[in-house]
Amino acid sequence: MKIKYIIKKDIEQALINIGLKNYCEPLIIPSKKKEFGNYQVNNLIKMSTITKIQPYDLFEKIFFFIKTQNIYKKITFSYPGFINIFIDQNWLSNKLEELFFSSRLGINYVYPKKTIVVDYSSPNIAKEMHIGHLRSTIIGDVIVRTLEFLGHNVIRANHIGDWGTQFGMLIAYLKHKKLEKKLKKNIISLKEIETFYCKSKKKCDVDKTFENESRKYVVKLQNGDDNCFFIWKRLVSITMNYNYHIYKKLNVTLKKEHTMGESLYNTMLPSIVKDLKEKKIAIEKNGSTIVFLDEFKNRSGKHMGVIIQKQDKAFLYATTDIACLKYRYETLHADRIIYYTDSRQSQHLQQVWAISKKAKYIPHNLSLEHHTFGMMLSKNKRPFKTRDGNTIKLTVLLEEAIKRARDLIKKKKPNLSQKKLIKLSNIIGISAVKYADLSKNRNTNYIFDWDTMLTFEGNTSPYIQYAYTRIISILKKSTIKIHQISEKIVLTKDTEIRLAIKILEFEEIILILEKKGTPHIMCNYLYQLATYFSNFYENCSILFSKKIKTCKSRLKLAFLTAKTLKKGLNILGIKILKKM
């Protein structure tokens, strides 16, 4: 339900009727105090200045046109210039009734439906995922779930780093150390591969012959040599099988079929370079091929070049991304493409988009968005790293979360069976890490703090998961079964009305996520919803209400709260618990 939108449209229509079209967009916000109603129009003074009509007179004119709508119970003016809107309880109750029987909480599929490519997670091969990949993976997944819920055609694109010169080094190293057999038997772990990767890189720096050999293997791999191809394929599968375990653990929806790595665009690269040269977008300079763009200048005002092919004929990250963008538009028919990578890749993407537009690989109006995110910091506000200054592996972080959750649960429930303890600590631990991240505005850095994320107070996943289980237990205790209640909800107390409006706000939140890709909006919403439920429950008894009619109505309100919490957590990829 888009209550704010309805009010806004009503006021806009009133302004048209008065003859004040296009003057100023009404700004509707939830009221802070109950005497100011449920919503207020916040910019009446501004409208008044523009239209040169006194605020109260303008209010009266607007009031005349909207007073008869059945959504409003009362509309008042408050000094110096606010319109206070009280929503009618009956109207609210009817709207809640619609949600009651809807599996989609009354939210329609959007029209027109779009094809949206979401580029997220995108780890690199031969390396374990680190905490930087956590943000892209889980934020991207929330948006994918949101867009799918709204009925869009969503294409998950896991743009893994599975191509490049590093594979030459790795192949050379594996051959040197006679590790091919082990690889064939599939008994090499990702951890080992990562050490080989580091060692091969070091060896390349000091050993010229090894470096030359590595180069030869790159060429062989690019030319489709069977043996090199086999080794490469194995390296990719070992890394990705490991990552799929992590996705599963994280309750992230990425599967094998969503992998569209850099190697996919390999065959497109030579013709792209050729085409860009022919179109005079790229030029050759000292053996490399470079694109100069007017809009990108360095500090001294000189045009910055984007290299798309190096002297040794190797292609670059940017070349692949140009091909990838072309493919997403031409082959996947994307209407909108969203990239979830950290803010440091911003310029890279801007350049890729600009080149692709200039070359007419994509139209100018294709919606391209880089949804950036900041870094995870430790309590001392420095980048969150291991004691010896290395990046933290994602598995290490998740194991720690599960361990901390287990210690906490053990303290609270010492008699829990081992099986239940494991299940519960997995869900609570992983949810806490995910929620702590998702609840922060993705655009800024945030402080990663174990202590706050695992408490049952405040905007945390344990708090919201617990709120859900509490409602479920109330519903279970009741002798009245929810689906047998035929009476409508009756809203009398303020806390009931506030809760009802909050429940109906869910659609607005989903639509913000669709547009902006900001999961923290959903977290804040669920936190408020859970808090409003608490206030309602403290003020209004449910099972012990004096009248059966009231009990039934409140049970329905509780049920709808639980249903909304469940859907919201599902959108966030956070598992619910029936008991805690």
Return the number of the residue (321 or 496) whose C-beta is nearest ligand ARG: 321
519 contacts 139 by C-beta, under 8 angstroms: yes
Closer to ligand ARG by Cβ: residue 264 or 428:
264
Closer to ligand ARG by Cβ: residue 151 or 383: 383
Dist CA 488 CA 100 (whole Å): 10
Binding to ligand ARG (CB under 6 A) within 183-242 occurs at: none
Q: Quickly list DSSP for 376-395.
A: EE-TTSSB-B-TTSPBPBHH
CB of 317 to ligand ARG, least distance (A): 7
**Non-local CB neighbours of 50 within 8 Å, separated by 6+ positions:** 23, 24
Nearer to ligand ARG, 340 or 384 (CB): 340
Using CB positions, name the residue nearest to ligand ARG.
Answer: 122
- State which residue, 35 or 257, has the beta carbon closest to ligand ARG: 257
State the maximum Cα–Cα separation within the chain, in Å, rounded to a whole number: 88
Rounded to a whole number of angstroms, the minimum distance from the CB of residue 321 to ligand ARG is 5
Which residues sit opposite 391 in a β-bridge? Answer: 385
Q: How far is the CB of 161 from ligand ARG (least distance, A)?
A: 4
At residue 52, what is the residue type?
Answer: K
**Nearest distance from C-beta of residue 45 to ligand ARG, angstroms:** 46
Q: How far is the CB of 485 from ligand ARG (least distance, A)?
A: 50
**Closer by beta carbon to ligand ARG, 394 or else 510:** 394
Q: Contact 464/530 with Cβ under 8 angstroms?
A: yes
CA 100 to chain CA centroid, nearest Å: 27
Q: How far is the CB of 263 from ligand ARG (least distance, A)?
A: 12
Q: Closest CB to ligand ARG among 118 and 530?
A: 118
- Please name the residue ranges forming H helices in 150-268: 166-176, 180-184, 190-206, 208-222, 226-249
Whose structure tokens read 């792209």?
A: 272
Task: Tell me how far, at minimum, the Cβ of 121 lies from ligand ARG, in Å.
Answer: 8
Rounded Cα–Cα distance for residues 39 and 81 (Å):
14
Distances (CA, A) of 166 to 204, 307, 345: 10, 19, 20
Residue 341 binds ligand ARG, judged by CB under 6 A:
yes
Length of the chain: 580
Number of residues this chain uses to bind ligand ARG (CB under 6 A): 10
Q: Which of residues 283-322 bind ligand ARG (CB under 6 A)?
A: 321
Quick check: 161 binds ligand ARG (CB under 6 A)? yes
Within residues 468-497, the interface with ligand ARG by CB under 6 A covers none
Angstrom distance (rounded) from CA 14 to CA 29: 18
Q: How far is CA 32 from CA 39, 42, 504, 531, in A?
A: 8, 12, 18, 15
Q: Smallest gap, in angstroms, from Cβ of residue 561 to ligand ARG?
A: 38
> Is residue 33 within 8 Å of residue 27, measured between CB atoms?
no
- DSSP characters over 139-154: HHHHHHHHHHHTT-EE
Closest to ligand ARG by CB, 384 or 506: 384
For ligand ARG, give the closer residue by CB, 38 or 121: 121
Q: Is 159 in the site for ligand ARG (CB under 6 A)?
A: yes
351 binds ligand ARG (CB under 6 A): no
Classify residue 416 by burial, with Cβ atoms within 10 Å: 0-12, 13-18, 19+.
middle
Q: CB–CB of 156/260 below 8 Å? A: no
- Who contacts 455 (Cβ-Cβ below 8 Å, separation ≥6)? 462, 463
Rounded Cα–Cα distance for residues 49 and 52 (Å)? 5
* 341/564 with CB nearer ligand ARG: 341
Nearest-approach distance from CB 341 to ligand ARG, in angstroms: 4
Residue 162 within binding range of ligand ARG, rule CB under 6 A: no
Q: Does 141 bind ligand ARG (CB under 6 A)?
A: no
Identity of the residue, 324 or 504, whose beta carbon is nearer to ligand ARG in the bound complex: 324
Among 197, 247, 339, 446, binds ligand ARG (CB under 6 A): 339
Q: Mask 106-125, x = binds ligand ARG (CB under 6 A)?
A: -------------x--xxx-
Q: How many CA atoms lie within 13 A of 467 on its CB side?
A: 30
Question: What's the min distance (Å) between Cβ of 162 and ligand ARG?
Answer: 9
Residues in the site for ligand ARG, rule: CB under 6 A?
Answer: 119, 122-124, 159, 161, 321, 324, 339, 341
